[in-house]
Structure 1
Amino acid sequence: MAPFLVVLDVDSTLIEDEVIELLAAEAGALDAVATITSEAMNGRLDFAASLEARVATLAGLPETAFAAVLDRVTVTRGVEELVAGVHRAGGFVGVVSGGFHEIVDTLAERLGLDYWRANRLEVADGFLTGRVRGDIIDARAKADTVTEWASDCGVALRQTVAVGDGANDLEMMSITGLSVGFDAKAPVRDEADVIMDVRDLAQVLPLLGLPRP
């Protein structure tokens, strides 16, 4: 049995950015999207509805924008150390995101993650349609994903760790053995077991009894 599974949110956790906002900037819709994102992450808007509203502003954006956005993404300090430390101890690391596979896939492969899941944007004839393909990865889907991955790698839920910052992370946090609010919004600060305000994900290692590099 693996010793533990660490599952992180992506936007503003694994990375310093909100990908939907980077895409919106390419589409000239940043101000409107940033306002909706803030409301959703603070739990004042339904996540699925807010995502659909934000994605709708991307209609007509060429799919070449994904490469431009990926070049602007900054991985949060300490991610590589966290992944390496967990792997050395025989554990697993995954990310589950209300963001998009078009960006997450490349990041996950670069970082050597074991699991990842995110939304997919619909593209037709080389342009975004303004819709999401398939079911939306919302708070319930995040929790279900943690349960699925824990079963897959043989880790009890009490040995799982969830790291996130927004209201849509609360359901997965509620089922894990340890929840970490990472530079978190108000709803998460009220519920998380541990609050981290320094943006360095290697800080998670000592919580697992593992040394920092």
Structure 2
Amino acid sequence: MQNMIDVDQLDVRPVEDQLTLSKWYEFENAQAEKGEVLTEKTAQYIVLFGARLAGTTLKAFLDALTLMHIVPHTVCAYQAHPDLPIGVAIKAGLPAGELPKSDIRHAAKKLGCQGAILPNLPQLDIPGLLVMDMDSTAIEIECIDEIARLADVYDEVASVTAEAMAGKLAFSESLHKRVAKLQGIELSLISPLKDDLPLMMGIKQLCEVLKTKNWRLAIASGGFTWFAEALQERLSLDHVYANTLEIDAQRLTGRVIGDIVDAEKKAEVLNALRERYTVDTGQVIAIGDGANDLVMMAAADLGVAIHGKPKVVEQADAAICEGSLLQLLHFMTVPLPREY
């Protein structure tokens, strides 16, 4: 690798004015320890994204990594998508022990950015699989809470929802308790909600990009088929899996029929789709926001918390804590160094 950079020379100009995009640079100064050789197994990739990056911001982030005893070896600026600010990837050696995921996030946040360590580098140009939670992930709302609001039982349902999403109540138990409170609600009352579900910012554009790259897209949701199926056409989804509300005489009965899509079922869906489409290793991503998404996210090659609860952000491989879901592309477009 012939490209070299002196971190001390980075200035206030945008990073793309100081680093050629998609080129990896070695460090000329003490940021990297020359004696250590990274291999595919020992290397870790750290990404910094979410705001327009100045060279001084990159330098401050590299300094923060050094304080964590992380040894940056090479750095690369890249454009994940024309509508996103330039991101930066850093190939580094990490100290033994637990990955400092939260430290990376906090260091990036202090600089007005977001940061993550990527255990795998899924590649956008290779077909893959994205499995998404629906409520508060693909869409901005929790559908059951909104139904309850329309039926004037919101406070009762929301308190149970909060317990479930925080992992304090088994999902299947909470689902039955919440749905029971919806007994007697007329479908005509909730039809406008189904017809105008508020998409999470960037999700439609993300799905459009992935479909052009031959990715398979699926929703695995603890929500309801009534809403998931409404999203299927809007987002060009290949599959949707969700819970089925029982309906009688155009009213909700307060019961769920069929198998419950809980945390374990979501992971089963992901693994079944991985096998069905013979997805390459490293090319399966799962995204979600709640505790019932953690098993699915752990089963994926990359599990990403989306505006997630603290427990989920802490346990996920990576997180997008603010802004557009299109930023998921920062995790899928890191240029591969030649020696990788």
How far residue 127 of structure 1 moved from its aligned partner, in angstroms, is 1.0
Rounded Cα–Cα distance in structure 2 between residues aligned with 1:169 and 1:76: 17
Paired position in structure 1 for 2:207: 83
How far residue 93 of structure 1 moved from its aligned partner, in angstroms, is 1.3
The one of 284, 291, 298 aligned to 1:160: 284
SS state at 1:130 partner: strand
User: Once superposed, what is the RMSD of the aligned Cα atoms?
Assistant: 1.6
Q: Which has the larger radius of gyration?
A: 2
SS state at 1:10 partner: coil
Establish whether residue 131 from structure 1 lines up as the match of residue 289 from structure 2. no
% identity of equivalent residues: 39
Rounded Cα–Cα distance in structure 2 between residues aligned with 1:17 and 1:26: 13
The one of 20, 29, 37 aligned to 2:144: 20
Rounded Cα–Cα distance in structure 2 between residues aligned with 1:183 and 1:39: 17
Look up the equivalent residue of 2:236 and give its one-letter code.
G
Q: Which has the larger share of helix?
A: 1
Contact 2:150 2:190 in 1 (8 A): no
Rounded Cα–Cα distance in structure 2 between residues aligned with 1:210 and 1:55: 43
Report the TM-score, using the length of structure 2 for normalisation: 0.59
Q: Where does 1:6-17 land on structure 2 (aligned, <5 Å)?
A: 6-17=130-141
Q: Where in structure 1 do 4 or more consecutive aligned residues deviate above 3 Å?
A: none
Residues 49-80 of structure 1 show CA distances to partners (whole Å, capped at 9, x for unaligned) of 00100000100001223312224521011111
Residues 120-172 of structure 1 show CA distances to partners (whole Å, capped at 9, x for unaligned) of 10011111110001111000000000011112222146320010000000000
Which has the higher mean CA deviation after the structures are superposed, 122-131 or 59-68? 59-68
Q: Which has the higher contact order (CA 8 A, sep 6+)?
A: 1
Paired position in structure 2 for 1:189: 313
Contact 1:157 1:175 in 2 (8 A): no
Establish whether residue 174 from structure 1 lines up as the match of residue 283 from structure 2. no
Aligned residue pairs, count: 210
Paired position in structure 2 for 1:205: 329
Residues 169-207 of structure 1 show CA distances to partners (whole Å, capped at 9, x for unaligned) of 000011110010111112211210111111411011221
Establish whether residue 32 from structure 1 lines up as the match of residue 126 from structure 2. no
How far residue 14 of structure 1 moved from its aligned partner, in angstroms, is 0.2
Which has the higher mean CA deviation after the structures are superposed, 117-126 or 154-163? 154-163
Paired position in structure 2 for 1:53: 177
Look up the equivalent residue of 1:42 and give its one-letter code.
A
Rounded Cα–Cα distance in structure 2 between residues aligned with 1:156 and 1:173: 17
Contact 1:5 1:91 in 2 (8 A): yes
Paired position in structure 2 for 1:5: 129
Unaligned runs of 5+ in 2: 1-125, 336-340
Paired position in structure 1 for 2:241: 117
Unaligned runs of 5+ in 1: none
